[in-house]
Structure 1
Amino acid sequence: MIRLATAADGPRTLEIWRRAVAATHDFVSASDLTRIDGIVVDWLATSRPWVHVDETDTAVGFMALTGAHVDALFVDPARHGAGVGRALIAHARTLHGALTVDVNEQNARAVGFYERLGFQRTGRSPTDGLGMPYPLLHMTWRA
């Protein structure tokens, strides 16, 4: 089931983010990861992402949207490959006719995930949204 997060989901979404980043972002330096972690803690405290929950209503993945742009999509590594991310993107597609996402170029698994779902590369930036040296691929999905 997919629903909007509540305040009670905050600690779990942060745990999902940390576990997913540890499993997929080995290209991020330890000092940069510490800086980003602080930003994510603050961001999750004020955002209301969509969460994919299991049968006990525990979040196993989450997605944040700004309009039709996927700001974040993270899945607990224990659930990678189980359709959680695919279901979250399918949900976003029901809300919007087209989607965009920015993906770390160095995260080959994420790039492949979006490409398998039909996203196409539309551009590239040499740094991430914080100006750090982690290039982003800009991708779009159109119905």
Structure 2
Amino acid sequence: MRGVIERYESQDYRVLVDIWESAVKATHHFLKEEDFLFFKDAIPNEYLPHLEVYVFKDESILGFMAVNEQHLEMLFVDDAFRGRGIGKQLLNYAIEELGVKSVDVNEQNEQAVVFYQRQGFKVSSRTEQDSLGKDYPVLLLVID
């Protein structure tokens, strides 16, 4: 799918939260409801305002990523548009243009683990809990 990737300058994160929700409901079946609701509130209020956010746009925003220095903090594509190369385009942009070298992935999100490994990422380490101490094992993936 053709589109453009550009920096997201707005502080109105509603469309990004909608994309996040669509993607998470399709891929994060392991996520407890209370944690889903926690992250749904934290994404626009606690995380995105402190990260560099980029969007993939066709006629509308179909996916986004957020970066902190050389670390990809999040990458989500609207579930209705998954499998069309949007995530790969965002990831390639992150690596080639932004110098991204690493990403944390929920181990239980097997689709994401496979996606990043197909793009050349390798498991560097594993933790039993996420950065908030929740019982979701996380893999740190790195690329040369």
TM-score, normalised via structure 2 length: 0.90
Specify every segment of 5 or more residues in structure 2 that has no aligned partner in the other structure, as ranges.
Answer: none
Provide the residue aligned with 2:79 in structure 1.
77
Provide the residue aligned with 2:106 in structure 1.
104
- Partners of 2:64 and 2:90 within 8 A in 1: yes
**What's the CA shift for 1:73?**
0.4
**What's the CA shift for 1:41?**
2.7
**What's the CA shift for 1:96?**
4.4
SS of the equivalent of 2:139 reads strand
Residues 1-143 of structure 1: pairs in structure 2 closer than 5 A: 1-7=4-10, 10-43=13-46, 46=49, 47-54=51-58, 56=59, 58-97=60-99, 99-142=101-144
What's the % identity of the aligned pairs?
Answer: 36
- Partners of 2:126 and 2:140 within 8 A in 1: yes
Greater mean alpha carbon deviation, residues 9-18 or residues 23-32: 9-18
Query: What is the RMSD computed on CA atoms of the aligned residues?
Result: 1.6
**Which amino acid in 1 is paired with 2:72?**
V
**Which amino acid in 1 is paired with 2:69?**
G
- Partners of 1:123 and 1:139 within 8 A in 2: yes
TM-score, normalised via structure 1 length: 0.91
Greater mean alpha carbon deviation, residues 42-51 or residues 133-142: 42-51
- Partners of 1:98 and 1:140 within 8 A in 2: no
Aligned length: 140
**What's the CA shift for 1:78?**
1.0
